[in-house]
Structure 1
Amino acid sequence: MRTMKILSILTKGLVATVSLAVLAVTATGWWTYRTATTNLATDDVIVPDTPQPSTSGAPTPLRQPPQDTTILLVGMDSRTDAQGNPLSPELRAQLQAGNSTGEQNTDTMIVIHVPADPTKKAWGLSLPRDSYVNIAGGFGMHKLNSAYARGKNAKANQLRNQGADQATVDRESTTAGRRNLIATINNLTGLHIDHYAEINLLGFSEITNAVGGVPVCLNEPVRDSYSGANFPAGQQTLQGVDALKFVRQRHGLTNGDLDRVRRQQAFLAGLANRMFSAGTLTDPAKITDLVNALTKAVVLDKGWDLVSFAQQLGDLSAGNIQFQTIPTGRINLATPSDGSAVEVNPGQVRDFVQDLLDPPVQQQQQQQDNPDSTKIQAQKQERVQKIASVEPINAGAIPCVD
């Protein structure tokens, strides 16, 4: 039961990582875990306990006690596997992934915060890909999903000018792109990213196949020629390419990218439900399929101790996590060079994140200890409630979304 609780809490936002961690702490799974981690792709993208590079003058990111863990989960719109090998034409056609190079943009970005205290809520915070923000590295204001590509391309050009071979260019520029994305999110949210997990289109599809599909629910039927999404209203179970279509759709949705973010959150909640209640962890065949999918689908930061991380999770339960989205303004903000974007106020984002780190229950206790702070805390809570984008999705259920 403890193992199932451990997997349940993070499969909502980090199914790949925690699946390996669970294997690591079960005797029967140790050999499978060692085999999987030997083949797992990693990258040296985290600089511990130092501010990430910034030219914006942003203050040092907020730091919680070291035992708290903050993870950046990234879904890449790439046409390669975790080792950077191009997908075959057959696989690209199956995934409706277009040409072999594809985009270098990050389609999905979710910050997962896991507190050391199991009585506190864990949370996932989505950052819409079209958020108009200051990109780290001196690139100025652009859409958030370009931070990776801008950092990568700049480093690649620098290395080519220095005469580096193509393998070096590919490897070091990819690391630079990931670091630039992390730095941008650190500056925007005030958090410090402790760990990084990246998954590509192929990996997402194969993981959903490995767990036997994910339950989702739609308020209305949808049909979208861009993503290929064609689903009826109501509850249904999706896997493989259909699951990919579900989380990628944004055309035809009232709020575009923001509605897609809600889809992704609902999907992760359904994935957690599937892992927790459908006997996935007691099915050796599903575990084997899942591990096989992970080793060719996921990139983690170098040096992440998954065993310690799994043990840290303790008794956190599926119902003790929620998904939210950073506060946003206009969804059709006109920009000088990036077309229409999502308006974001960095100050509001940092206030919102601080409220997640210091929830109202804690604030009430602080008010009792210091009555003079009551008015200030009330004003802060009112402000945060006003800037919240949408109601949170609780991972203890399978919500219906547009």
Structure 2
Amino acid sequence: MALLALPVGLFLFGWWQFSRIPRVDVAAALSSSSGAGGTNYLIVGTDSREGISPDDPNAGAFLAEDVAGARTDTIMVLRMESGGARLLSIPRDLWVQNPATGEMGRVNSTFAEGPANLVTAVRNLGIPVEHYLEINFVSFGRLVDAVGGITIDVPAPARDANSGLQIDTAGPVTLDGTQALAYVRSRYYEELVDGTWRPDPTGDIGRTERQREFLSAMMSAIGGERNPLSLARIPGSLGAGMKIDDALGYLDALRLAWDFRGASPDAVALPVTPRTTSGGAAVLELQEPGAAEIIASFGQ
């Protein structure tokens, strides 16, 4: 009898957890879901410090900086389709037109006018966006800790004094929430090569690649989790730091979770090229024809 009741109990517990997730008013900006081909989820990581306590075990990864409000630190598109999952990174320095102002600027700056404006900016690239998920630093660290850490493979010892990153050995290393935050946020990434610390020459491009690879590994860990009680605890670990669009229903979320079981998202790079604007800003532009082909594959 208890076994028969367990799925119902988990369903209701999951619904309760889902109902507590804050909503973002972006439904009017989302693409219509055709149900064919695949579904795109825009995943945005913000550097909001809201709700962070100095006693939080992950506090050291982000309280050192004095930042007000929230900015987009990570922008990715997760595509779920019959053949599996793909994860596309959109560099924060990508040069785009701001839908709200009509002016050119970095894509992460479009978030200043609200999430719906960022959704529109991504759609204007030619990438449909059916759903929106936002997560801040606190929840990101807690999520990593909730799944027991994430293992990545680094080619050399690495550090970043600004983000707090310190990896002492090359090869597979399991990062907890604090070091995971330091890793994905690293803008001054250095590697120890032949006894010398060398900065990553690729800048934001390299940072984007590290973020994409890490999030792909984290999604694989979540997708590979088989313990229903562990899965049920994951939403609670996110707290109020996760937000979803106002069009995503509980059954939609369950369908996503089911499709994601055992999935290992393929990391997809958006071809870009660096340039300096007339005003002296270092930005990235789409590199053609490769960028158009990648974008088209996310719209089919």
TM surpasses 0.5: yes
Q: In 2, distance between residues paired with 1:316 and 1:299?
A: 19
Match of 1:56 in 2: none
Q: Per-residue displacement from partner, 1:252-288 (whole Å, max 9, x unpaired)? A: 32211111112112212322343355xx44163x445
Per-residue CA deviations over 1:55-77 (Å, capped at 9, x if unaligned) read: xxxxxxxx883343211000001
State which of 68, 77, 80 in structure 1 corresponds to 2:50.
Answer: 80
Specify the alignment match of 1:127 in structure 2: 90
Distance 1:38 1:144 in 2: 31
1:325 and 2:275 equivalent? no
Unaligned runs of 5+ in 2: 1-5, 189-198
Matched AA of 2:46:
M
C-alpha distance in 1, partners of 2:65/2:84? 42
Match of 1:304 in 2: 248
Determine whether 1:242 maps to 2:189: no
CA 345–309 in structure 1, closer or farther in 2 if over 3 Å, else same: same
8 Å contact from structure 1 (residues 328, 342) kept in 2 = yes
- In structure 2, do the counterparts of structure 1 residues 79 and 336 end up closer, same or farther at CA, with 3 Å as the change threshold? farther
**What is the rounded CA distance, in whole Å, between the counterparts of 2:19 and 2:260 in structure 1?**
28
Report the counterpart of residue 139 of structure 2 in structure 1: 203
Deviation, structure 1 residue 335:
2.2
Alpha-carbon distance in 2 for matches of 1:66, 1:315? 14
TM-score by structure 1 length? Answer: 0.63
2: CA distance, partners of 1:104 / 1:74: 11
CA contact (8 A) 2:200 2:206 kept: yes
Do residues 257 (structure 1) and 204 (structure 2) align?
yes
Q: Which residue of 2 aligns with 1:295?
A: 239
Whole-angstrom distance in 1 between the partners of 2:232 and 2:254: 19
Output aligned runs, 1:84-123, within 5 Å. 87-91=52-56, 93-98=59-64, 101-102=67-68, 104-115=70-81, 118=82, 120-123=83-86
The structure in which a higher percent of residues are helix is 1
Instruction: State the AA in 2 paired with 1:147.
Output: T
Question: For 1:215, which of 135, 139, 151 is the aligned residue?
Answer: 151
Structure 2 counterparts to residues 259-278 of structure 1, below 5 A? 259-277=206-224
1:30-45 superposed matches below 5 A: 30-45=11-26
Deviations along 1:339-395, one digit per CA (max 9) or x if unpaired, are: 21122258753332114555xxxxxxxxxxxxxxxxxxxxxxxxxxxxxxxxxxxxx
Decide whether the 8 Å contact of 2:223 with 2:264 is kept in 1.
no
User: Is the Cα contact below 8 Å between 2:127 and 2:299 reproduced in 1?
Assistant: no
Cα 1:193–1:75, aligned 2, differ >3 Å: closer, same or farther? same
Task: State the aligned residue count.
Answer: 282
Are residues 97 and 338 of structure 1, via their aligned partners in 2, closer, same or farther at CA, if it must alter by over 3 Å?
A: farther
State the partner residue of 1:66.
Answer: 35
Task: Give deviations 1:165-191, integer Å, cap 9, x for gaps.
Answer: xxxxxxxxxxxx101101111001x12
What is the one-letter code of the residue matched to 1:143? R
8 Å CA contact retained: 1:70, 1:111: yes
Q: Does residue 145 of the first structure (1) align with residue 82 of the second (2)?
A: no
| SS state at 1:78 partner | coil
User: What SS does structure 1 have at the residue aligned with 2:17?
Assistant: helix
Q: What is the deviation of 1:98?
A: 3.5
1:21-71 Cα deviation digits (max 9, x unpaired): xxxx94341232122123211112121677xxxxxxxxxxxx883343211
TM-score by structure 2 length? Answer: 0.82
**Pairing of 1:157-236 with structure 2 (within 5 A):** 177-188=114-125, 190-231=126-167, 232-236=169-173
**Would you say the 8 A contact 2:61–2:163 is kept in 1?**
no
The one-letter code matched in structure 2 to 1:197 is L
Structure with more of its chain in strand, by fraction: 2
> Aligned partner of 2:42: which letter?
L
- Report what 1:282 is aligned to: 227
Contact 1:220 1:234 in 2 (8 A): yes
Structure 1 segments unaligned to the other structure (5+ residues): 1-24, 51-62, 82-86, 152-176, 359-402
Separation in 2, partners of 1:49, 1:293 = 27
Bigger drift between 230-239 and 133-142 goes to 133-142
Letter paired with 1:128: P
**Rounded Cα–Cα distance in structure 1 between residues aligned with 2:243 and 2:158:** 32
Task: Give the distance between the partners of 1:340 and 1:143, measured in 2 at CA.
Answer: 10
Larger Rg: 1
% identical aligned pairs: 25
CA deviation digits over 1:183-242, x for unaligned, max 9?
111001x12211100000001001111111111110111121111111021101111111
C-alpha separation in 1, matches of 2:93 and 2:78: 19
Residue of structure 1 aligned with 2:295, choices 342, 353, 369: 353
Alpha-carbon separation, structure 2, partners of 1:141 and 1:315:
37
Aligned residue for 1:16? none
1:247 positional shift: 1.0
Q: Aligned in 2, Cα 1:311/1:287: closer, same or farther, shift over 3 Å? A: closer
